[in-house]
A and B are shown apart, each in its own frame.
Chain A
């Protein structure tokens, strides 16, 4: 049985805590480990921060959309903005690459999302904005026996 949630909110930094808690509470029914839940929250925080500061250039009129689906012990999260988009996705994904060094960004957001989830997909266009999608298995993890 599939279960889905949707939230949208203004591009305000103060909504970041709310957004990651919302996804984490939704995921809680899968009984994730403390570490998996922390990783999920971090990935959400990275994607939402990017939508706010890069997508919307911190303009609070922008709306950030999150939808999440749970199926077969796996959570699938989509974070979307209708902001300025990413010109070069491959470059954006490189560790330490940032277009905003003056804001003291570390350029680690996408690298963290990649390491903390099982699969990361980025779609972006400079006319319609950015969609970041990631999946993470939280329950019934298969043990890889050699």
Chain B
């Protein structure tokens, strides 16, 4: 089972996934994320994968696919909350070269200038 939650903060869209992301669920994650990017007119994307103990190359495919989509519009992609196995997949496939990595969502939001303190 994979559960998907989205939260938009200004131009940033946060996608939170929990469960095991394989081929079976990758299509659902793709559709959900595409729909959320469109609905919120998001420029930047943050994947919070802290609830994801397992992922395979199908997950890499969806994340890479959304990278292409967001990158075309001049936006960036950040991943955070990676466990050891997921981190190794990202290393092997070179995704760290094109995406930002943060420990937490908050760090990513701060870097993108969408933190809750931005109006201070």
The residues of A with any CB-CB pair to B shorter than 8 Å are 13-14, 16-17, 35, 38-39, 41-42, 45-46, 49, 52-53, 95-96, 103-106, 108-109, 111-112, 115-116
Count A/B pairs, Cβ under 8 Å: 69
**Considering the complex of A and B, which 6 residue pairs feature the smallest CB-CB distances, nearest first?**
A13-B24, A38-B85, A104-B65, A104-B61, A45-B56, A106-B60
Q: Are A104 and B85 in contact (CB under 8 A)?
A: no
* Range of interface residues on B (Cβ < 8 Å): 20 to 34
Asked if B112 lies at the interface with its beta carbon under 8 angstroms from chain A, I say: no
Asked if B30 lies at the interface with its beta carbon under 8 angstroms from chain A, I say: yes
Asked if B42 lies at the interface with its beta carbon under 8 angstroms from chain A, I say: no
Asked if B84 lies at the interface with its beta carbon under 8 angstroms from chain A, I say: yes
Q: How many angstroms from the CA of A59 to the CA of B53 in the assembled complex?
A: 29
Interface string of B79-98 (1 = CB under 8 A from A): 00000110011001100000
Q: Are B22 and A105 in contact (CB under 8 A)?
A: no
Closest CB-CB distance, A93 to chain B, in whole Å?
13
Q: Which residues of A sit under 8 angstroms from B92, Cβ to Cβ?
A: 95, 108, 111-112, 115
